[in-house]
Chains A and B, each alone.
Chain A
């Protein structure tokens, strides 16, 4: 059974700000503007799973154009030069970076999976017995981007739901 943890929107926002500062917007010109809309659309998503002292998933989701721009920023190329492989690679790395930093805030004994990337909307994802507990939802350069945290509960199957919503 995993323990209760306190990783809230402020913590996630701080992590996301660091990712933007480091890779996506080093000059501070184009930050992620929060919309607080957890139902905003996405075209693609990536996730890492955490097991051990806490069980759940960290999910990065965005429009295809935002993912393409993120990959372009990482690779220092133009967005139209980004291949599907590059796009998947960067989506996976973004989930990995946020997931790793979330894991650091969890009780000792948590383990991080390698990232999974799905070139389909987050709404198609199925996380058994998982509930969204936190998230950062925003617009980056006019395109939707979200990072959410899902807690899996295996101890109380009756009160949890299966699926993204």
Chain B
């Protein structure tokens, strides 16, 4: 069975490592990008689109919200599940991200368990994967 793929997009290498550890534990293959532009370049060059993207908001070159907007404008990428993972925790920002096409929103700091629960809610991992 082909493993699902997750794109981890954050300008912090340490945060990418944390997210990568979590998705790898859930049997995803992880692909990293340091900003929205790099992620968009990578994903448009891929023959198979990743099932999941975990996206920081505040990044240089192209921020997470711009990345979400670009992905949602591309029919080829419409199956990607987009999860914002960010310190931007105001209600208005959450609404903006969801309106732009993000499926879920995880606020930093997050525990591994909280992230897995979110992914389970999205149907990307079995319920109870956290236990």
Contact = CB atoms under 8 A, between A and B. Distances in A.
B112 to A, nearest CB: 8
24 contacts: A19-B109, A22-B108, A23-B109, A74-B14, A74-B15, A74-B17, A75-B13, A76-B21, A85-B13, A89-B12, A89-B13, A92-B12, A93-B15, A96-B108, A97-B108, A99-B87, A100-B88, A100-B89, A100-B108, A103-B90, A104-B87, A104-B88, A108-B92, A112-B88
B60 interface: yes
Given A22-B111, A97-B108, A86 B14 contact: yes
Interface of B: 11-15, 17-18, 21, 58, 60, 86-90, 92, 107-112
Interface SS, A side:
helix
Interface of A: 18-19, 21-23, 26, 71, 74-76, 85-86, 89-90, 92-93, 96-97, 99-101, 103-104, 108, 112, 114
Nearest to A100: B87
Kindly name the residue among B12, B13, B18, B109 whose own CB sees the greatest number of chain A CB atoms within 10 A. B109
B109 A71 contact: no
Interface SS, B side:
loop
Nearest to B18: A74
